[in-house]
Amino acid sequence: MFLTRLISTILILAAILTSGCGRKMEVSEGAGNRVFTDGLKRRVVIGSTPPRRIISLAPNITEILFALGLGEKVVGVTAYCDYPEEAKNKARIGDTIHPDLERLIAMRPDLVVVSTASQLESLAGKLGELSIPVYVTNPRTVREVAASILALGEVTGATARASEIATEMERRISAVESRVKSLPRLKVLYVLQTAPLITAGRNTFINDLIDLAGGISISGAETADYPQFSRETVISRAPEVIIAPASHGAGVVSQDDLRRDFATTPAVKFNRIVRVNPDWVDRPGPRIIEGLEQMAQGLHPKSP
């Protein structure tokens, strides 16, 4: 799964830059070009017309671009970009962190879009030399995901569709908030992977998902984006619900393993292990709303 592999690389690099997604897009005109501010507060210079050859270097970006109706303009994607179905027919340029730069450059993109700061580190130098613009989204909350869609709509000339998507996302976010606001907030362990056990820290969209869904993450105070937790730490924080991906490759243990490792926690004692669709929850794109609704239902199954 994309996010698990990306986290592993981030842990090695230990160098993620911190920034919001940029709720407001700053645009200026100059010398025929357009200048945008991306999710890392970088100035990104793009041509005077919307890009026509776009490369996506993350599954969530690919989903956003297709949702914006830009599938025909997407000329390259990563090996992990598997949604929508049409994305599987696009040229593959390697993985998310270390794409095949020679192939990427040969595709003559007029825009490359990435999702995180760590991806930028491996691209900025070479692509900068060639004046190929690289735009980073970097959302840290669910609403920033919607903002990143609006921003990409501005960059790509798909503002109307972006506004429709963002408006619908906000409607559904607000509906979940209204549904859970008077319900007890349960302590949650979110398991991204095991060996080591990795969860989500304070400044991540996963932590925000848990909060919006009516939970309190036991790792929500951690400053690291994706901290490692020991079994003893989890037990000491007594999660009332354990949330784990329904399928996530070899990194996530089985239901039986979760029950064994955390047998003394309230979550296991009261049979509160919730499985969620990792593509909805771990990808900060349009389908994160399905992930929010699924998580809220898992935390509060008896609520209307």
What is the three-class DSSP state of 41? coil
Cross-strand pairs, 44: 36
Say whether both 79 and 128 belong to one domain. yes
User: What pLDDT score was predicted for residue 164?
Assistant: 98
Q: Is residue 44 part of a domain?
A: yes
Say whether both 110 and 150 belong to one domain. yes
Among 31-40, 177-186, 218-227, which stretch is predicted with the lowest mean pLDDT?
31-40
**Residue whose structure tokens are 């609520």:** 303
Domain containing residue 42: CATH number: 3.40.50.1980
Q: CA neighbours within 13 Å on the CB side: how many for 90?
A: 33
Average pLDDT over residues 199-225: 97
> H helices then E strands: how many in the chain?
13, 14
Q: Given 103, 135, 167, which residue is the final one in a domain?
A: 167
Say whether both 188 and 287 belong to one domain. yes
Share of the chain above pLDDT 70, in %: 87
User: What pLDDT score was predicted for residue 302?
Assistant: 83
Would you place residue 274 in the very low, low, confident or very high pLDDT band (cuts 50, 70, 90)? Answer: very high
Say whether both 109 and 211 belong to one domain. no
Amino acid at 224: A
Q: Is residue 79 part of a domain?
A: yes
Q: For 75-90, what is each residue's pLDDT tens digit?
A: 999 999 999 999 999 9
User: What pLDDT score was predicted for residue 18?
Assistant: 34
pLDDT at 6 over 90: no
Would you place residue 239 in the very low, low, confident or very high pLDDT band (cuts 50, 70, 90)? Answer: very high
Q: Is residue 4 part of a domain?
A: no
What is the three-class DSSP state of 17? coil
Q: Given 141, 167, 193, which residue is the final one in a domain?
A: 167
Q: Is residue 2 part of a domain?
A: no
Cross-strand pairs, 34: 29, 46
pLDDT at 148 over 90: yes
Say whether both 49 and 84 belong to one domain. yes
Residues in the chain: 304
Helix axes 205-212, 288-299, angle to 10 degrees: 50
Say whether both 137 and 208 belong to one domain. no
Q: Is residue 282 part of a domain?
A: yes
Q: For 151-202, what is each residue's pLDDT tens digit?
A: 999 999 999 999 999 999 999 999 999 999 999 999 999 999 877 899 999 9
Share of the chain above pLDDT 90, in %: 75
195: left (phi over 0), alpha (psi -120 to 50) or beta: left
Is residue 138 within 8 Å of 41, Cβ to Cβ? no
Would you place residue 248 in the very low, low, confident or very high pLDDT band (cuts 50, 70, 90)? Answer: low
Would you place residue 23 in the very low, low, confident or very high pLDDT band (cuts 50, 70, 90)? Answer: very low
Q: Is residue 254 part of a domain?
A: yes
pLDDT at 251 over 90: no
Say whether both 188 and 79 belong to one domain. no
User: What pLDDT score was predicted for residue 4?
Assistant: 54
E strands within 125-238? 134-136, 186-190, 197-198, 215-217, 228-229
Say whether both 231 and 119 belong to one domain. no
User: What pLDDT score was predicted for residue 135?
Assistant: 95
pLDDT at 253 over 80: no
Give residue 239's domain range.
182-299
Q: Given 136, 167, 198, which residue is the final one in a domain?
A: 167
User: What pLDDT score was predicted for residue 287?
Assistant: 98
Q: Is residue 294 part of a domain?
A: yes
Say whether both 81 and 138 belong to one domain. yes
Say whether both 123 and 92 belong to one domain. yes
Would you place residue 11 in the very low, low, confident or very high pLDDT band (cuts 50, 70, 90)? Answer: very low
User: What pLDDT score was predicted for residue 129?
Assistant: 86
Per the structure, how many domains does the chain have? 2
Q: Is residue 140 part of a domain?
A: yes
Among 4-8, 36-40, 77-81, 82-86, which stretch is predicted with the lowest mean pLDDT?
4-8
pLDDT at 21 over 90: no
What is the three-class DSSP state of 104? helix
What is the three-class DSSP state of 206? helix
User: What pLDDT score was predicted for residue 196?
Assistant: 87
Say whether both 162 and 23 belong to one domain. yes
User: What pLDDT score was predicted for residue 259?
Assistant: 92
Token pair, residue 34, equals 């357009």
What's the mean per-residue pLDDT of the chain? 88
Say whether both 26 and 162 belong to one domain. yes
